[in-house]
Amino acid sequence: MTLLYTIFTVLCLCIGFYFGYKLADTKKLPEVNPIKVADKVRTEVTNVKKKQEQNKKINQLNEVLNNIDKFDGSSKGQKPIKK
């Protein structure tokens, strides 16, 4: 029985190597321009930073609007606004 498992394992390994070699031989990797990739990464990073800044501004404006809604002539219920 162990002989059968040994032969089956080696056979599967050989079949895997064959099909792996066949796939790698037929497909070519696309050529990548590193300058374009770097520009994409740079623009994505700047977009993330801009979104974070916009979210901070939106949160600050929401705090101001909430303070206006809660205003009753006194400072009760008002939240301090950070600049």
- The answer to whether residue 9 scores a pLDDT higher than 70 is yes
Question: What's this model's pTM, rounded to 2 decimal places?
Answer: 0.51
Considering only residues 11 and 81, tell me which one the structure prediction assigns the higher pLDDT: 11
- The answer to whether position 80 is within a domain reads no
- The answer to whether position 8 is within a domain reads yes
- The answer to whether position 81 is within a domain reads no
pLDDT band, very low/low/confident/very high, at 15 (cuts 50, 70, 90): very high
Closest of 42, 46, 23, 44 to residue 34, by C-alpha: 42
Distance CA 55, CA 3 (A): 65
- The answer to whether residue 79 scores a pLDDT higher than 90 is no
Number of domains in the chain: 1
Domain around 13: 2-70
Q: Report the chain's mean pLDDT, rounded to a whole number.
A: 87
